[in-house]
Amino acid sequence: MSKEEKLKKVNIMIVDDIPDNLSILQEILYIKGYRILAFTRGMMALNAARNNPPDLILLDIKMPEMDGFEVCEHLKADPILKDIPVIFISALNDIADKVKAFAIGGMDYITKPFQSEEVQSRVENQLKIRFLQKELSVQNENLERLVEKRTAQLINAYKRLKELDQIKSGFLKMISHEIRTPINGVLGIGELIINQCADSEDIRLYRDLFQKSGDRLLDLIENATIIINLDQIPIKKDAIVSFFSVFNSVISSLPKILITIEQPIVSKIIWLHGNQELLKKSLEIMILIANCFSCKKHAASITLVDEEKLLRVRIDVDNLLLSDEQVDSFFEIGSTVRSTSAAELLGLLPVVAHKIIGSAPINRIE
């Protein structure tokens, strides 16, 4: 809507007990295209404003029965009328009246005798402010509705994710619990059959393949069980472990990988509060992951950075071959990136490490 169109729809109320003043102000404002409502009494003006709120009120201070100050106080006490800007009409030398006018909520004042340009300028300024306030109010309402809508969408999405997570956890729980017994039976019978076969190069090949496949199935069940029960593993308040004790245990459990520490920290013992088995397992897995993405398949280089209240462990890789986007999805349970990468043989181990690091607090103790 253009400025001219807005002005044609502007309603201005003038309240003054002197008819000549009303006539002068009406003549000045008619020129600008405003629609004028004129009243000589404050109570009449209040009743009219409640029935049809104007966009602006010009209000004389000195009036009988109800002066301008009292009229303004009634306006500001009304939730519907309180935001209507009020311009007081005052005599040139009434400084005290002007101060009081601003104190009770007046936005501006016009002095007598009236100057046409001054009246038009002050009225236009207040109307501009009023229009901006209305537009801002509409934008705020739209923003609130948008925020409410978006919040509802996020809540629904979160509920759906929780449902999917519960379904996924239930599926993993079913696999880890229900499939363990039949798998053990299948593996036992398979091993018995293979052992009854005459020894040959093919049988040795099949036996090795069967053993690896069986181990991988059992690892899958075990890792699924860890993922499901990780949040239920208690950590005692007094569970304090030495990082290097855990680290040495990791080295012993991975004899085929030469693990070296770059710039080793030997000046002090580093104590941690957490679950020792979980810490050990997460370090083992991270070394195995790094080993998959390293040109040196039988070596792992680790750097320890001793920071205040923090021990940073970095495991070097030199053959990652994954984009940032692929890395982000690598640790998801159903990741196709992981299943088609060099870490495919690790199965769910990367998910286990990610869950341990993200869910089980391991805090350094000073």
Q: What's the one-letter identity of residue 56?
A: L
Angle CA(269)–CA(273)–CA(279) in degrees, nearest 5? 90
What single string gives the DSSP state of each residue in 166-218? Answer: HHHHHHHHHHHHHTHHHHHHHHHHHHHHHHHSPP-HHHHHHHHHHHHHHHHHH
Please name the residue that has the structure tokens 């393949």.
Answer: 209
The closest of 258, 321, 315 to 282, measured between CA atoms, is 315
Phi/psi at 70 (5° precision): -65, -40
Each residue's pLDDT expressed in tens, for the chain with a length of 366 residues: 555 555 557 999 999 999 999 999 999 998 888 999 999 999 999 999 999 999 999 999 989 889 999 999 999 999 999 999 999 998 767 788 888 888 999 999 898 889 999 999 999 999 999 888 888 888 988 998 999 899 888 888 888 887 777 776 676 666 666 677 777 788 888 888 888 888 888 888 888 888 888 887 887 777 777 777 766 665 555 567 788 888 889 888 898 888 888 766 655 677 777 778 888 888 888 988 888 888 887 888 888 777 766 777 888 888 888 888 888 888 887 788 888 888 888 888 888 888 887 765 555 655
Peptide bond before residue 19 is cis, with ω within 30 degrees of 0: no
The closest of 274, 270, 275 to 307, measured between CA atoms, is 270
Beta pairing class for 108-112 and 271-273: unpaired
Angle CA(21)–CA(22)–CA(25) in degrees, nearest 5? 85
Beta pairing class for 86-91 and 299-307: unpaired
What was the pLDDT predicted at 328? 82
C-alpha 194/C-alpha 210 separation (Å) is: 9
Token duo for residue 125: 């300024």
C-alpha 345/C-alpha 150 separation (Å) is: 41
C-alpha 50/C-alpha 69 separation (Å) is: 18
At 360 the three-state DSSP class reads coil
Q: What is the pLDDT of residues 52-75, one digit of tens each?
A: 999 999 999 989 889 999 999 999
**R_g (Cα) of the chain, nearest Å:** 40
C-alpha 191/C-alpha 184 separation (Å) is: 10
Contacts 24+ apart (CB under 8 A), 306-309: 306/265, 306/270, 309/364, 309/366
Please name the residue that has the structure tokens 């629904």.
Answer: 156
CA 31, chain centre distance (Å): 53
Q: CA torsion sign, 64 to 65 to 71 to 73?
A: positive
Check: CB of residue 250 under 8 Å from CB of residue 259. Answer: yes
Q: What is the pLDDT of residues 144-182, one digit of tens each?
A: 899 989 988 888 888 888 777 777 667 666 666 667 777
Strand partners for 56 = 12
pTM of the model: 0.48
